Chains A and B, each alone.
Chain A
Amino acid sequence: MTPETSANGDGRPVNRPQRSLAARLVFVAAVWSTIALAIAGVFLVSLYERASERAFDAQLEVHIKALIAEMLATNADASADQATATLTAPTYRGDPRFSLPLSGWYWTVRRADSPSILYASESLVGDPLNTPPIGQDDANAGFIVGPTGDEIRVLQQRITVEDAAYVIAVGAATAGFWADIFEFARLVAITLCIVGLGLILAIFLQVKFGLRPLARLRASLSAVRQGEAERIDEALPREIAPLAVELNALIVSNKEIVERARTHVGNLAHGLKTPLSVISNEARASGGPLADKVSEQASIMSTQIQHHLERARMAAQRRVIGVSCETEPVLARLIRAMGKIYQDKGVDVGFAQSGQVRFRGESQDLEEMSGNLIDNACKWAGSKVRVQVAPLNDPATNRDMFTITVEDDGPGLTPEQRAEAIKRGRRLDETVPGTGLGLSIVADLAALYGGTFDLESSSLGGLKARLVLPALSKE
């Protein structure tokens, strides 16, 4: 068997789905049933053939016995003066077919030491019956070709009358016999075919029913992956329940790992940024060329730390198994916070969402991306920021996505500046506080989720940031 794998873009082997488990079970059971039924059929037909043969032979034997009885009786009737004539011609007509010429039913009497026939039934006209040699046996049976070319079953018996041995043969055409066997075989075949089909159907239903918990497990797992459920339903049959338990443990452990990584990153951030604040403030307070250098380097370190912590968070995020969140509460909460932060500026942040949209990812990441965009818009806006969320179906991939657009009525950016703004650590205006990482973090996170991020000019007069992210499909 060749391994059903290939490599994807990054060289990782991808398992192609193998043939269905149900199809396998049904196929094997069907093959096995067909073979078993065929063997049973052959066995039945052969039993029937042997039974029919025995019954046919028994019938011929009755005729032989009746014929011998008639001949011996004829012989006993013969007077003592005809002592040499040991047998008289029998006129046995035990079956009307012995009288009908070439009816297929024949009897003959001959001496054991000579092939020439002494007596024969009235039905045997023309060619004699080529009975098989009996040798030294008292009786035998066999098949010969009759005078009309059809197959004849012949039974022979040796009798000895006054030291003379005779062979009495009774034969009958087997045409009817075989016709019976074939008819029986046909009926057996039809019956077994029906039984076989019934069996396959029963197996199919059994497999379908038997594998239903697996389908349930798959649906449950898929719900977890999609972020619709937090854990797999463990109410499953004994055989696969441990699998669900193990998967749940894996999901929990995965979340714990991510949570630990996040806490670690948070602690690291705290551990590094506080001393950095001290260093840079101390340097700024003391003044002089050394202080300037320290300030400058502290600022570079700060940007680097910010960037790498963000990367670490993103790396942790990649390992989270299916989570999702409603966009509306996340954005509403952010906008409320922005209102407080920018209340001095009096920026009016409008929010509109068409329909219900669920982001297929971590709410913290959605908050980070939209937070950076709204914060940026509020920073630059004259008085108005517009946030809109709308579902979107990507025709290229047929994936459910959604867009978040954040527009402001600020000065906006030229196309060249827009390209620059997304680059890491680029601050277009050094007088406005920030690390310059905001938009590049948005672009990186969006790419990580398979989404896109671009900047355009807004009808409000300023910048329009457009974020496309995966949505949870509405099934």
Chain B
Amino acid sequence: MRILVVEDDTDLNRQLVAALEEAGYVVDSATDGEDGHFLGDTEPYDAVVLDLGLPSLDGLSVLENWRRDGRTMPVLILTARDRWSDKVAGIDAGADDYVAKPFHMEEVLARVRALVRRAAGHASNELTCGAVRLDLRSGRVTVDGSAVKLTSHEYRLLSYLLHHQGKVISRTELTEHLYDQDFDRDSNTVEVFVGRLRKKIGSDMIETIRGLGYRLGAASDT
């Protein structure tokens, strides 16, 4: 899952990035409106954390531009101007949720988690596929009730596949959503991680659709 953080305060930006990375997301960040807008406009993100008070282009304009250009990723706005008129203006501009400053990081994480989950069409914080179960709040993965230890890359891969289970996900899409913008997209690490993940959760859970990509589905479904 790839998240964009647009926050002009470098300390807060660093904290958000660190917390989101720790929660298993791949995070890109920008510290002004124009950079943030460019990233959101050109890269596929699963969610965006957007501050409203940004230099060069304010957050509300960034959001409006994205929506006008048909960018539909869920956006969580951070605002210090926490009157309802400001919050509603943000929601009207296309935001999906807001967090008023000052906030606790846990709150931002919970909101981002909910936005990503909701965007993929899941109602619960527990994603299951056959015997595999992922608790998004704790990041705990179990297969048939037994905990499975995953590396961060494996976790991201499983989380993305679980969010989009049943759909065929191309290798490019996986690369785009599992790595940040600086990653060398020609490498074959995705295959390597898919292989490792198959070993941990069961080889028949991830199906390879030749020439198209991968599909996660319970063994009985395929």
Known interface pairs A340-B91, A341-B91, A344-B118; A278-B85 also in contact (CB < 8 Å):
no
Of A270, A275, A340, which contacts B81 at CB under 8 A?
A270
Of A278, A334, A372, A375, which contacts B12 at CB under 8 A?
A278
Q: How many A-B residue pairs have CB under 8 A?
A: 92
B97 with A340: CB separation less than 8 A: yes
Q: Mark B84-107, 1 if CB is under 8 A from A, else 0.
A: 111110011000111011111101
Of B11, B80, B92, B118, which contacts A278 at CB under 8 A?
B11
Please give, as numbers and ranges, the residues of chain B lying within 8 Å of A306 by CB-CB distance.
82
Count chain B residues whose beta carbon lies closer than 8 angstroms to a beta carbon of A: 31
**A273 is an interface residue with CB less than 8 A from chain B:** yes
**A371 is an interface residue with CB less than 8 A from chain B:** yes
- Interface residues on chain A, size class: 35 or more
Of the candidate stretches A46-54, A103-111, A279-287, the one touching chain B is A279-287
**B15 is an interface residue with CB less than 8 A from chain A:** yes
B92 with A281: CB separation less than 8 A: no
**B173 is an interface residue with CB less than 8 A from chain A:** no
Minimum CB–CB distance for B16 against chain A, Å: 9
Minimum CB–CB distance for A314 against chain B, Å: 12
**B204 is an interface residue with CB less than 8 A from chain A:** no
Interface residues in B100-154 by Cβ distance below 8 A to A read 100-105, 107, 114, 118, 123
In Å, the complex CA distance between A356 and B48 comes to 40
Known interface pairs A270-B53, A298-B102, A337-B88; A281-B15 also in contact (CB < 8 Å):
yes
**A257 is an interface residue with CB less than 8 A from chain B:** no
B81 with A269: CB separation less than 8 A: yes
In Å, the complex CA distance between A333 and B118 comes to 22
Please give, as numbers and ranges, the residues of chain A lying within 8 Å of B88 by CB-CB distance.
333-334, 337, 367, 371
Minimum CB–CB distance for A320 against chain B, Å: 14
Minimum CB–CB distance for A284 against chain B, Å: 7
Minimum CB–CB distance for B14 against chain A, Å: 9
**A450 is an interface residue with CB less than 8 A from chain B:** no
**B210 is an interface residue with CB less than 8 A from chain A:** no
Chain B residue nearest to A269 in the complex (CB) = B80
A276 with B102: CB separation less than 8 A: yes
Minimum CB–CB distance for B1 against chain A, Å: 18
**A400 is an interface residue with CB less than 8 A from chain B:** no
**B9 is an interface residue with CB less than 8 A from chain A:** yes
Please give, as numbers and ranges, the residues of chain A lying within 8 Å of B103 by CB-CB distance.
277
A372 with B84: CB separation less than 8 A: yes
Please give, as numbers and ranges, the residues of chain A lying within 8 Å of B81 by CB-CB distance.
266, 269-270
Q: Mark A332-358, 1 if CB is under 8 A from B, else 0.
A: 011011001101100000000000000
B80 with A367: CB separation less than 8 A: no
In Å, the complex CA distance between A306 and B105 comes to 19
B87 with A371: CB separation less than 8 A: yes
Minimum CB–CB distance for A374 against chain B, Å: 9
B107 with A433: CB separation less than 8 A: yes
**A5 is an interface residue with CB less than 8 A from chain B:** no
A364 with B9: CB separation less than 8 A: no
**A363 is an interface residue with CB less than 8 A from chain B:** yes
A274 with B101: CB separation less than 8 A: yes
Please give, as numbers and ranges, the residues of chain B lying within 8 Å of A270 by CB-CB distance.
53, 80-81, 101
Minimum CB–CB distance for A429 against chain B, Å: 15
A277 with B97: CB separation less than 8 A: no
Please give, as numbers and ranges, the residues of chain A lying within 8 Å of B85 by CB-CB distance.
363-364, 367-368
**A302 is an interface residue with CB less than 8 A from chain B:** yes
Please give, as numbers and ranges, the residues of chain A lying within 8 Å of B15 by CB-CB distance.
277-278, 281-282, 285
Of B97, B102, B118, B123, which contacts A280 at CB under 8 A?
B102
Chain A residue nearest to B18 in the complex (CB) = A285
A333 with B97: CB separation less than 8 A: no
B84 with A274: CB separation less than 8 A: no
- Dominant secondary structure of chain A at its interface with chain B: helix
Of B87, B96, B104, B118, which contacts A284 at CB under 8 A?
B104
Of B9, B84, B104, which contacts A334 at CB under 8 A?
B84
Known interface pairs A285-B15, A337-B91, A344-B118; A275-B9 also in contact (CB < 8 Å):
yes
In Å, the complex CA distance between A270 and B55 comes to 13
A337 with B102: CB separation less than 8 A: no
Minimum CB–CB distance for A433 against chain B, Å: 6
Q: Mark A297-329, 1 if CB is under 8 A from B, else 0.
A: 010001000100000010000000000000000
In Å, the complex CA distance between A368 and B15 comes to 30
Of B80, B92, B98, which contacts A333 at CB under 8 A?
B92
Please give, as numbers and ranges, the residues of chain B lying within 8 Å of A278 by CB-CB distance.
9, 11-12, 15
A367 with B101: CB separation less than 8 A: no
In Å, the complex CA distance between A343 and B74 comes to 13
Please give, as numbers and ranges, the residues of chain B lying within 8 Å of A340 by CB-CB distance.
91, 96-97
Please give, as numbers and ranges, the residues of chain A lying within 8 Å of B118 by CB-CB distance.
343-344
In Å, the complex CA distance between A270 and B53 comes to 8
Interface residues in A424-456 by Cβ distance below 8 A to B read 433
Please give, as numbers and ranges, the residues of chain B lying within 8 Å of A313 by CB-CB distance.
83
Minimum CB–CB distance for A111 against chain B, Å: 118
Please give, as numbers and ranges, the residues of chain B lying within 8 Å of A343 by CB-CB distance.
118
In Å, the complex CA distance between A337 and B79 comes to 15
Of A269, A281, A341, A370, which contacts B97 at CB under 8 A?
A341
In Å, the complex CA distance between A313 and B103 comes to 22
Of B18, B82, B91, B104, which contacts A269 at CB under 8 A?
B82
Q: Mark A398-433, 1 if CB is under 8 A from B, else 0.
A: 000000000000000000000000000000000001
Please give, as numbers and ranges, the residues of chain B lying within 8 Å of A269 by CB-CB distance.
80-82
Chain A residue nearest to B22 in the complex (CB) = A285
In Å, the complex CA distance between A194 and B97 comes to 81
A371 with B80: CB separation less than 8 A: no
What residues of chain A have their CB less than 8 Å away from a CB belonging to chain B?
A: 266, 269-278, 280-282, 284-285, 298, 302, 306, 313, 333-334, 336-337, 340-341, 343-344, 363-364, 367-368, 370-372, 375, 433
A273-B80, A277-B12, A364-B84 known, 19 other contacts, Cβ within 8 Å: A266-B81, A266-B86, A270-B53, A271-B80, A274-B12, A274-B53, A277-B15, A280-B102, A282-B11, A285-B105, A306-B82, A333-B92, A337-B91, A340-B96, A344-B114, A364-B83, A364-B85, A371-B84, A375-B84
What residues of chain B have their CB less than 8 Å away from a CB belonging to chain A?
A: 9, 11-12, 15, 18-19, 53, 80-88, 91-92, 96-98, 100-105, 107, 114, 118, 123
Closest 8 CB pairs of A and B: A371-B84, A273-B101, A270-B80, A276-B102, A337-B91, A273-B80, A277-B102, A278-B11
